[in-house]
């Protein structure tokens, strides 16, 4: 689950990670009031969306008067911010973060993530803060220094010192960095985070460390342990189809192609998308209906697919293991009749009661194209999509 910057910074502060003074607002009037309450003569106005690159997209503005705060809030609130991470559709801006400005002498990068291959939390730092870390890694991998945290002992002081030395901190800054990093690791563990980024982590003119930005992602699978954090979810920042899929126990991700996929099993879904591309097509989605697919779940999956206007054909690729192919076939027939699918539907069934399932599809009288194998199914759906687009 993604959090907004202001939400992440609230958690940072709870764990002793220093952040600038700021206030979240949802109206022009509140933006002006926040600037006055913070005091001073300069403020940063930040659009709150679940995407990076906000500055380049016009979502972060430095202003010098309360009137400028109001004008910036008026321009941003209710708009859609487009960055390289949002795609062409952009994300709606409903909240702003008004913050104090700080005098910066250095910008660093600090991140934590789970390395599943090593079964460790990896802590990453770089002296090249304020830049896209992917660009830094591509240009000079040695510019990123890492420490692997053993889960039995946790983050150790010597690891904090190693990372501090790597980015050129000294004296009291090392102690401050150790406190900051220790608090951030406690947050990571206790809140079941999957990613934390501070970019930039700045050294101020008074030699203090401050988390100028904050990115925090929490593991959806652990939310049952943190019922209060569920309130932090912002559905306006999520793809509507992906949100609906989650509510029905489906795993769905929108893609850019025109061939919809409905598959049971994540690995099979990935292979299905690969094979569609091999035959010259482009998948419109990743859709895993799960091993316990039911007629109701299949019907909901078809509704999701049909909500995508660019879809021209549908490939249903099912391996009947836990669920028999004849039951899946019944669900497909019921769903097609209920939803009213007008697009070409190619079905490949394999596994338990395969022949019975194919017989049910053939007897349905519906315009369903059956396939004899994986490659045959991909070839047929690509051909069908081209015919539908003609």
Report the catalytic residues: 109, 197
Q: Environment class of residue 112 by beta-carbon count within 10 Å: exposed (0-12), middle (13-18) or buried (19+)?
A: buried
User: b or e along 168-197 (b: 16 or more beta carbons within 10 Å of the residue's beta carbon)?
Assistant: ebeeebbebbbebbbbbbbbbeebbbbebb
Q: Environment class of residue 224 by beta-carbon count within 10 Å: exposed (0-12), middle (13-18) or buried (19+)?
A: exposed
Phi and psi at residue 328, to the nearest 5°: -65, -45
Structure tokens of 290?
């799960």
Signed CA dihedral, 132, 136, 141, 147: sign only: negative
Asked if 110 contacts 159 with a C-beta cutoff of 8 angstroms, the reply is no
Task: Give the Cα separation of 345 and 298 in Å (integer).
Answer: 13
SS3 content of the chain, % helix, strand, coil (to 5): 40, 25, 35
Phi and psi at residue 117, to the nearest 5°: -65, -40
What is the helix (H) or strand (E) element at residue 120, kind and residue range?
strand 120-126
3 state SS of 87: coil
Helices (H), the chain: 5-14, 28-38, 66-76, 133-139, 157-166, 172-190, 240-247, 266-278, 295-306, 325-339, 354-363, 374-389
Structure tokens of 316?
């249903």
């Amino acid at each position: 689950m993604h959090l907004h910057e202001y939400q992440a910074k609230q958690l940072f502060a709870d764990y002793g990670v220093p952040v600038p003074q700021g206030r979240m607002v949802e109206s022009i009037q509140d933006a002006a009031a926040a600037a006055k309450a913070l005091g001073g003569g300069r403020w940063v106005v930040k659009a709150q969306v679940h995407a990076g690159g906000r500055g380049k997209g016009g979502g972060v503005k430095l202003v010098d008067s309360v009137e400028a705060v109001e004008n910036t809030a008026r321009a941003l609130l209710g708009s859609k911010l487009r960055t390289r991470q949002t795609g062409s559709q952009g994300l709606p801006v409903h909240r702003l973060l008004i913050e104090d400005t700080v005098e910066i002498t250095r910008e660093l990068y600090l991140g934590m993530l789970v390395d599943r291959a090593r079964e460790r939390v990896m802590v990453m730092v770089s002296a090249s803060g304020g830049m896209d870390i992917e660009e830094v890694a591509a240009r000079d991998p040695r510019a990123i220094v890492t420490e692997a945290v053993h889960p039995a002992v946790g983050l150790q002081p010597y690891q904090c010192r190693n990372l501090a030395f790597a980015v050129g901190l000294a004296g009291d800054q090392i102690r401050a960095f150790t406190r900051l990093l220790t608090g951030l690791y406690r947050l990571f563990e206790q809140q079941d985070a999957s990613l934390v980024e501070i970019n930039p982590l700045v050294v101020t003119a008074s030699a203090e460390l401050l988390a100028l930005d904050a990115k925090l992602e929490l593991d959806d699978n652990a939310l049952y342990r943190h019922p209060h954090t569920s309130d932090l979810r912002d559905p306006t920042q999520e793809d509507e189809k992906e949100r609906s899929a989650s509510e029905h126990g489906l795993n769905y991700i929108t893609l850019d192609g025109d061939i919809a996929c409905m598959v049971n099993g994540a690995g099979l879904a990935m292979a299905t998308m690969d094979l569609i591309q091999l035959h010259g097509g482009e998948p419109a989605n990743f859709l895993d209906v799960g091993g316990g697919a039911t007629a109701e779940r299949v019907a909901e999956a078809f509704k999701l697919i049909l909500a995508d206007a660019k879809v021209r054909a549908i490939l249903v690729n099912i391996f009947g293991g836990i669920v028999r192919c004849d039951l899946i076939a019944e669900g497909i027939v019921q769903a097609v009749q209920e939803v009213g699918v007008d697009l070409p539907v190619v079905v490949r069934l394999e596994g338990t009661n395969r022949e019975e399932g194919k017989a049910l599809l053939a007897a349905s009288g519906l315009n369903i194209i059956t396939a004899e194998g994986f490659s045959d199914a991909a070839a047929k759906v690509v051909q069908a999509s081209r015919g539908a687009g003609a």
